[in-house]
Structures are given as C-alpha cells and as structure tokens.
Amino acid sequence: MEPILDIATVARKTGVTSRALRFYEARGLIRPLRTASGRRAYGAGELARLDAILTLKRAGFSLSVIAAMLSDRKADLGKQVAARLAEVDLRAAEIAETRLLLQSLSSRIDRGETIDVATLCSLIRRGDEKMSEDKWQPVLDRFYSVEERQAWVDSATRMPDGFDQQAYAETWKDLGARIEAALPLDPAGARAQAYLAEWRALLEPFARVASPEMMAGAERLYDRMDEWQGEVASPFSSRVWAFVQAASAAEG
C-alpha cells in the first residue's frame, strides 16, 4: 500500500510551505485526497505531480504554462520550450547590458568620483538609454533615411505628458512573451483577435503622433526582423510579428 502523507509532512519533505501547497491546489495544479475528517492526504501520484511542478518552476516556466503541460498529455512541449528559451535569451541580453553598465559605474567610483544614490540612478537611466541607442543605431541607419529618423525623434516630443517610456517598453515585452507562449493560434479565433486588440491598444500612443509613412516604415523594419534580430533585443520575436500580421489579415 502506498504511503499517504499529510500536508505538514509533505511541506517538511519538499521544502514547500503549506501555504504554497494550498495555492497550487487552488490553481488546480495538485488535487490531494481528503480524509474522513477533511484533512489533505497526498499519495504517490500527487507527490510525483508536485515534483514535476517544482522541476518545471526551476526552469522558469510560469504556473499557467505548467498547468497546461500537466493537463494535456499531447501538449506541444517544443512550443513551450521555445517560448521559454526566447525569454531566457532576452533576459541574458539584458543581464549582459547591465553588467557593462555596472562595470562602467564601478570604474568611475574607483577613480574617486563621488556618486550619491540620486546621481547613481540618473547615470543608470542614461546608461540604459545610451546602450540601447548605440545598439539600435546601425539597424535604424540601414532601414531609415536621416529625415525618417528625425521624424521619429520629433514624434517622441509629442507623446502625452507623463509618458513612461521604460514602463511602456516593459509592457511590450510582456505582451510579446504572452503571445509567444500561446502560439500557435488560429489567427481568426477569439483569443488571437483579443491579442490583436491588446496589441493595437498598446500601439495607439505612437499611432497618434506618427504619420502613415512612419508607421509603414516601422512595418517594413519588423517585416525584416530576421536580418537584425540578433543585433538588438526586440520586445517580441519575428514569430510574434508574423502572428500579428496574420491576425490582422483574418480580422472581420
């Protein structure tokens, strides 16, 4: 007869808190049995499932993705692994950029510069912006004329007051990652069209200040992502961009 463990024993053996175990249960990830008195009881099957959850979490998969993996024996694991790999690659590029920035700041401090917290924050923001500009510049030079690049610079001055460029960029990354994880999707399906609506809503601040020519230029740039995606960290992959185009074509 297989051993049946209570929640306290499972927590002690796995290092997972009782609170986390209850949370996993509420999300439908695990389904412990109940004793006659209503206490949770974990058999070998649920312990194996919990081990799979913890293993997949260590690889960085979200709980929603893990739930999908465990609920479907025919789940497309290749798609999920590819989406996670894209996230890791993006994070690795960000870490490399951060390391260069911190090395530069460390050198300034070692030279005897007096830097307080406010100055440090300012230097970090400026460094982030400068590294991003430096990486994007060769790409933009290939795809835009001097006049077209200046038009984009001018459009930035017409953004709404209080516009947070960093938060905006992070929102694009989040949307790109969510779409990547959901692919493949029927472009005409309800879920695909919901993502398309979210995409357009996020694009709206720039669509308001950009000319049709500027928007067409941006589309040309992303149509040729495969030519430059390894040079800069794009907020979404060429696969996501292709999906957005397909969803737009299937609209209505």
What's 21's domain CATH number?
1.10.1660.10
Give the span between the Cα atoms of 221 and 149, in whole angstroms.
12
DSSP character for 157? T
Same structural domain, 46 and 96: no
Q: What is the mean pLDDT of residues 164-176?
A: 82
Same structural domain, 93 and 202: yes
Residue 34, strand partner residues: 40
- Report yes or no: 132 and 169 within 8 Å, Cβ to Cβ: no
Is residue 190 over pLDDT 70? yes
| Predicted local distance difference test score (pLDDT) of residue 128 | 53
Query: Sheet of 33-34: strands edge to edge?
Result: 5-6, 40-42, 33-34
Same structural domain, 117 and 60: no
Residues 96-115 pLDDT 10s? 777 777 787 788 788 887 77
Same structural domain, 189 and 96: yes
Is residue 55 over pLDDT 80? yes
* Residue where a domain terminates, one of 43, 71, 99: 71
Same structural domain, 203 and 129: yes
Task: Provide the residue type at 183 as one letter.
Answer: L
Q: Which tops the pLDDT comparison, 220 or 73?
A: 220
Residues 6+ apart with CB under 8 A from 194: none
Residues 193-249 pLDDT 10s? 999 999 999 888 878 877 888 888 888 888 887 777 666 667 788 889 899 999 999
| Predicted local distance difference test score (pLDDT) of residue 123 | 61
Residues 6+ apart with CB under 8 A from 31: 25, 46
Same structural domain, 151 and 228: yes
| Predicted local distance difference test score (pLDDT) of residue 138 | 72
Same structural domain, 16 and 38: yes
Residue 150 is part of which domain span?
Answer: 77-250
User: Residue 79's closest CA among 89, 68, 71?
Assistant: 68
| Predicted local distance difference test score (pLDDT) of residue 102 | 77
Give the span between the Cα atoms of 101 and 49, in whole angstroms.
42
Residues 136-158 pLDDT 10s? 667 677 777 777 777 766 776 67
Same structural domain, 25 and 89: no
* Residue where a domain terminates, one of 71, 101, 127: 71
Same structural domain, 126 and 209: yes
| Predicted local distance difference test score (pLDDT) of residue 183 | 87
What is the count of structural domains for the chain? 2
Give the span between the Cα atoms of 105 and 89, in whole angstroms.
25
Same structural domain, 121 and 47: no
| Percent over 70 (pLDDT), the chain | 86
Task: Provide the residue type at 66 as one letter.
Answer: I
Residues 13-24 pLDDT 10s? 888 899 999 999
Same structural domain, 47 and 130: no
Is residue 125 over pLDDT 90? no
Q: Which CA distances in Å does 24 have to 10, 29, 32, 70, 179? A: 13, 5, 10, 13, 24
